[in-house]
Structure formats: structure tokens, C-alpha cells
Chains A and B, each alone.
Chain A
Amino acid sequence: MADGLQMAGVRNETLSSGAMSPHAMSLGASVGDFVQLLKPRVMSLVVFTGLIGIVAAPVPMHPVLAAVAILCIAVAAGAAGAINMWYDRDIDAVMTRTCARPIPAGRVEPSEALTFGVVLSLFAVALMGLAINWLAAGLLAAATLFYVFVYTIWLKRRTPQNIVIGGAAGAFPPMIGWAAATGSLGIEPIMLFLLIFMWTPPHFWALALYRANDYARAGVPMLPVVAGARATKLQMLVYTVALLPIAFAPWYLGMTGPLYGVAALVLGLMFVAAAVAVWFDAGERSARRMFGFSILYLFLLFAMIGLDRAPGLIALLRDAAA
């Protein structure tokens, strides 16, 4: 715990920036290495919530423009991930979960990753602005800059609240999707933002609970490292309970129908139950389960918004079932 605090806020230059194998470097990076820099697994949830932002908007969007908007969100998210990997290459090298990433494994040069990330970010924002609208482009730029400068560079190594504040970056996509479709913002996309914002801490802390040693070794002051498992579990429970009324927002704001309302209630209670299980579990099994469920929770919740909003989709499903 003390180690975590001591190292917090200080970029640990003594950590290796990755064992650069001359053999690996001489081969050059493969296409797959560059794909890995884009954090494709993280990207999939970002793309999905962005898509639901478009679907949930009251203004229909041309499918080609919607596809371009989604592409821009995906590319920008991946680019931010590449810049994150460039900056975090020292701590990635000492964490079990991340040591096989392309930079610490010596398959991609740090400068290549940074250039790749910056060029793709600029491309995504420019394309969003020129092809869709500049409000969506501005939000996309804000999300990328927030993730890189506020979360990665400023907060991640300095405070256990890193993921609470930094989580805002991952909450942008539905707002960007909404802005892409409507050219404006309102209370509805802000509630979708809040939903992901409140979901992020219990999601990440579940992971941090069973990776606490990894984070401590790397000097990242995640809450379990700094405050201990008990305090983290309590915070997780508080956040999952606070998330319940926020998850209802799309229904009581009239964005969705009762299908979503029922799903929000059932999934919300399951999420709280998962947090309760983590509270009573001295081991890491419940935390692992909660991490997995948290991803399913967000996916299903946004899928329900999509189902409720997609015009004619439910009718189509009914016809298919009949």
C-alpha cells in the first residue's frame, strides 16, 4: 500500500520500457501488432455505445453517414489506446496483464506507436468534422484529449480516483453518436454519459481487486492498492446502488419503452447483487465474476435502448417469431 502511494505521481523511469529484443525489432512490427495497439476489445464496447447513441437519437441518420461516424469513433478510441500504450510502456512492462503488449514486448517502437496514435486521432476528428458535423468532431477530440492528458498522463499515476474522473473519457461515445445524428445535445445523451460514467468505477475496481499486486508493482495507485480491498468493495457497492436510478433515466425521460425499464431494473439488481457477493467474498472469485458481468450489463442495457428505439425492429422480430 505504501509502495503504491510512494510511487504514485512519479513516472517510474527506472522501470524498463520493455525488453527490446533485437531479434523482434529486426523483424519489424506486423499488421496484427498495430491492430493490438488499438485495444480492439475496449474498442468494441465504445463502438457499440456510440452506435446506440445514434440509434437513440430522435433524428434518423443516413446509414452511410452513420457508418462513417461509427468508424470515426472507433478509430479515435483505438488511437487514444495507442497513445496510452506509448505513455504507459514502462508500467505495462512490469504488469502481467500488459507485458505482452506490442511495445513492452519489443515488437513496435514507442515512437511508431505515438505517431500511429496521433495521426489516427487527427484523421478521425477531421473526418468526423468534414463528413458529419463539428459538434460531434469536437466531442470526439475532447474525449481523446481527456483520455490521453487527464486520465493517462495526469490522474492514472497520481490518485486512486483516477478511474472515477478518467472514466468520463469512455462515457463520451453515446453523446458523440447522438451529436452526430442530431447536431445538438440534450438531457438524454447526458444521461447516457452519466450511465457509463457511474458504471466505470465498479467495473474497473472489480478488475483492480484481483490485479492489485500487478498495479502495486507498477506503482499505479488503484483504490485496492491504496485503500485496501474492504474500502474498494464498499465503494463498488455504493456506485452500483447509485447507478440504479441513473440506469432508469432513459425510460423516465421517455427515450425508451417499458422493455428497457424492466431490463434496467433486473440488470441493475443483478449488478448490485454482484457487488454484494464481492463484499462477502474474501477471495477474488466474485470480483472476477463481477468484472465479466459488468461488461455484459452495459452491453445488454444499451442493446435494450437500441431495441426499444430501433423503428420497426421489434415488429420485425415479432413477425419472424410468428
Chain B
Amino acid sequence: MNAPRSGNVAERKRRLRMRNLALAAALLAFVVIVYLVSIVRMGGE
């Protein structure tokens, strides 16, 4: 009984970590987009 439970906990942690990494990547992408759009806009396209 303990083995599957600890397996679940590990899997749950792994999924949570992946979701956090995906969110961090999305936020980073957003920052890059805002930066690039600002450069293009300020450069008069």
C-alpha cells in the first residue's frame, strides 16, 4: 500500500513542478513579447 502512495506523491510533485515551470516559461515569454513590441513600436515600425 505504501509503495503506490509514495509513487502518487512523487508523480503529483513532478506534475506540480512541470506546471510551475510551464507558468514560468509563459511569464518569461510575455516579458520578451512586451520588450520586442516596445522596441518595434518605438522604432516607428
Q: How far does the alpha carbon of A29 sit from the alpha carbon of B16 in the complex, in Å?
A: 8
From B8, B22, B33, give the contact of A131 (CB < 8 A).
B33
> Given contacts A27-B11, A27-B12, are A65 and B19 in contact (CB under 8 A)?
no
User: For chain A, what secondary structure do more than half of its interface residues adopt (helix, strand, loop), or is it mixed?
Assistant: helix
Q: Tell me, yes or no, whether A28 is within 8 Å of chain B by CB.
A: yes
Do residues A62 and B8 form an inter-chain contact, with CB atoms below 8 A?
no
- Measured between beta carbons, the chain A residues less than 8 angstroms from B41 are 131
- Measured between beta carbons, the chain A residues less than 8 angstroms from B15 are 27-31
Q: Tell me, yes or no, whether A99 is within 8 Å of chain B by CB.
A: no
Q: How far does the alpha carbon of A34 sit from the alpha carbon of B20 in the complex, in Å?
A: 13
| Total chain B interface residues with beta-carbon distance under 8 A | 14
Q: How far does the alpha carbon of A317 sit from the alpha carbon of B15 in the complex, in Å?
A: 45
From B8, B12, B37, give the contact of A68 (CB < 8 A).
B37
Q: Tell me, yes or no, whether A14 is within 8 Å of chain B by CB.
A: no
Q: How far does the alpha carbon of A30 sit from the alpha carbon of B18 in the complex, in Å?
A: 7
Do residues B40 and A64 form an inter-chain contact, with CB atoms below 8 A?
yes
- Measured between beta carbons, the chain B residues less than 8 angstroms from A34 are 19, 22
| Chain A min CB distance to B27 (Å) | 11
From B8, B19, B33, B45, give the contact of A29 (CB < 8 A).
B19
Interface residues of A (CB under 8 A from B): 23, 26-31, 34, 62, 64-65, 68, 71, 127, 131
Interface residues of B (CB under 8 A from A): 8, 11-12, 15-16, 18-19, 22, 33, 36-37, 40-41, 45
